Homo-oligomer: A and B are copies of this chain.
C-alpha cells in the first residue's frame, strides 16, 4: 500500500470518508515525513504539529459522530506564508514582518476549513513573494532551486510532505515551481478565488493557485476555495458545475492544442527544454497546431510594467520605512517601479482588452494553448536565482486558467508543460490537461 503521506488529495479524502484511514494517521504520516526531511528541504516557514494533530482528531471525531463531512474532510493542506491563518505566524518571507501573527483567516483558509481540510502549516515564500530566493531546496533535483515564489508549497508537495498546498502567482510563482519540482501547478482564472487576507503585491495580477500531485487534486482544492468575496472586487460569482466534475470527464473529442512558443522562445528557452517541447509537439501529431502569436511579446512587456508599478505602490512604503530590511534585489526592483511613469502603466493596462480578443479566440477554438511552463530545468542553487517567469507572466496578464503538468524531463530534472484555457472555463482546461497527462503516460508506456 502507498505510504499515507504519498496519497493524493482525492485518495486521502475517499479513504477518510470510507473510514479506511483516519485524518490523524494521515497528518501523522505527513508530520513524520517532514520531521525526516525538513532539515534538507526547508519547505516550512511555520509548523505547529500539536495543533495540526488536534485539528485532525477533531475532524475524525466529526466523522465518527455521523455529521456531514466536506469534500476535503481530514485532508492536510499547506498554506503559503503570505496567506493569513488566524493566530499563526505569517511573515511574508521578509524580516520586515518578523513575529507577525495573523488576526483572521484569509477567505481561502475559511473556505478550506469549511470543506473539512486540516491546515498543516505555513510554507516558505520568497521575500514578499518576489524573486529573491528563499532557503528551500528542490527535493527532486538536489542542489537545484525549487523556483519561487511558492517555493515551500512546491517543495513540500513534491517531497510528499503534504498532498497539496496553496500558492500565489503574479508572474509565474505557481507554474514555474511546479515545473521545476515535477508536480502540477494550477493558477485558476483571475478573480475565481478571492484574495482577502493575503499579502497584495499587484491587485491586477495576483492570483491564488494550487500545488498538487494530480490535476484532479488541483480541481478539488479550487472547487473548495472559489468564491465571490465583496472585499476582493476582482472576485466574481460563478454559477457552473464544479471544476472537479468537469476535469474528471472524458473529453467529448480528443483535445486540440494551439502551440504558442512566444517571442521569448529564441532568447530564453533552454536547449533541453526546446528539444523536449518540440518532441512533445511532434508526438501530438495533428492534435497540435503551431501558431505564431505576435501580440505575445507586447503582453510579456505589459505584465512586467504592471507588476513593477504595482509592486512599487504596494511595497514602496516598506522600502521607505526600513531600507535595511529589504534585499538588494528587491530594492532595485522597487526603484525601477518607482521610476515608471503613469502613462506607461496605463498603456500596459489598456493593452489587455485587445489581447483578450486574440487569446479568447484561441482558447475558444482550441482545447487549450500549449506552451512552456518554465524556460528550462530548475536553476542550480549556486546561481542564486529562482528562474525566470518569462513564459508565465503574459498568461497571468491574460488572466485565463493555466496549469503546469510534469510530462518531460532532461538529465533527471523535471520539465513541465503549460496549458492555458479560456477565462472562466477552468474545468475544461483541467479536463484537457488530464487527457494530456494520460496520453503522454500512454506514449511512454
Which of A316, A342, A345 has the most chain B CB within a 10 Å cutoff?
A342
Report the minimal beta-carbon distance from A363 to chain B, rounded to whole angstroms.
Answer: 15
Of chain B, the residue at the smallest CB distance from A356 is B233
Residue of B nearest to A346 (CB): B313
A40, B118: Cα distance in complex, Å: 76
| Beta-carbon nearest neighbor of A305 in chain B | B342
A269 interface hit (Cβ, 8 Å)? no
A309-356 interface with B by 8 A CB criterion: 309-310, 312-313, 316, 337-347, 349-350, 353, 356
Would you call B337 and A316 a contact (CB within 8 A)?
A: no
Q: How far is B179's CA from A175's CA once the two chains are assembled, in angstroms? A: 55
Of A341, A347, A349, most B-chain CB atoms within 10 Å: A341
The count of residues in chain A whose C-beta lies closer than 8 Å to any C-beta of chain B is 23
Residue A135 at the chain B interface, CB threshold 8 Å: no
Which residues of B sit under 8 angstroms from A340, Cβ to Cβ?
Answer: 341-343
A203 at the interface (CB under 8 A from B): yes
Which B residues are in CB contact (< 8 Å) with A310? 346
Q: Is the CB of A343 within 8 A of B350?
A: no
Main secondary structure of the interface of A (DSSP, over half): helix
Of B233, B342, B350, B356, which contacts A203 at CB under 8 A?
B350
Query: What are the residues of chain B within 8 A of A312 when measuring CB–CB?
Result: 342-343, 346
Q: Mark A76-93, 1 if CB is under 8 A from B, else 0.
A: 000000000000000000
Partner among B342, B344, B353 whose Cβ is within 8 Å of the Cβ of A337: B342
Q: How far is the CA of A308 from the CA of B345 in the complex (A)?
A: 13
Q: How far is the CA of A412 from the CA of B340 in the complex (A)?
A: 50
User: Are B203 and A343 within 8 A (Cβ)?
Assistant: no
CA distance A313 to B341 in the complex (A): 10
Selected from B313, B339, B342, B345, the residue in CB contact (under 8 A) with A350 is B313
Task: Mark out the residues of chain A between 231 and 275 whose CB falls within 8 Å of any chain B CB in the assembled complex.
Answer: 233
Residues on B with beta carbons closer than 8 Å to the beta carbon of A309: 342-343, 345-346
Least CB distance, A277 to chain B, in whole angstroms: 33
A233-B353, A353-B233 known; A316+B338 contact, CB < 8 A = no
A344:B343 contact, CB within 8 angstroms: no
Q: Which of A351-375 contact B (CB under 8 A)?
A: 353, 356
How far apart are the CA atoms of A308 and B346 in the complex, in Å? Answer: 11
Nearest B residue to A310, CB-CB = B346
A309 to B356, CA, bound (A): 23
Cα separation A52 to B340 with both chains bound (whole Å) = 50
| Residues of B close to A343: CB separation below 8 A | 309, 312-313, 316, 337-338, 340
Residues of B within 8 A of A308 (CB): 342
The distance in angstroms between the C-alpha atoms of A310 and B343, with both chains bound, is: 7
Nearest to A233 among chain B residues (CB) is: B353
Indicate which residue in B339, B345, B347 contacts A346 across the interface (CB closer than 8 Å).
B345
**Residues in B neighbouring A203, C-beta threshold 8 A:** 349-350
Given the complex of chains A and B, what is the CA–CA distance between A353 and B341 in angstroms? 23
**A347 CA to B337 CA in the complex, in Å?**
13
Q: How far is the CA of A203 from the CA of B347 in the complex (A)?
A: 11
**Chain B residues within 8 Å of A346, by CB:** 309-310, 312-313, 345
Chain B minimum-CB-distance residue to A231: B353
From residue A293, how far is it (CB to closest CB) to chain B in Å? Answer: 21
Instruction: Give CA–CA (A313, B308) in the complex, Å.
Output: 18
Q: Nearest 3 A-B pairs (CB), nearest first?
A: A313-B346, A309-B342, A342-B345
23 A-B contacts, Cβ less than 8 Å apart?
A203-B349, A203-B350, A233-B356, A309-B343, A309-B345, A309-B346, A310-B346, A312-B343, A312-B346, A313-B342, A313-B346, A313-B347, A316-B343, A337-B342, A338-B343, A339-B341, A341-B341, A341-B342, A342-B342, A342-B344, A342-B345, A345-B345, A345-B346
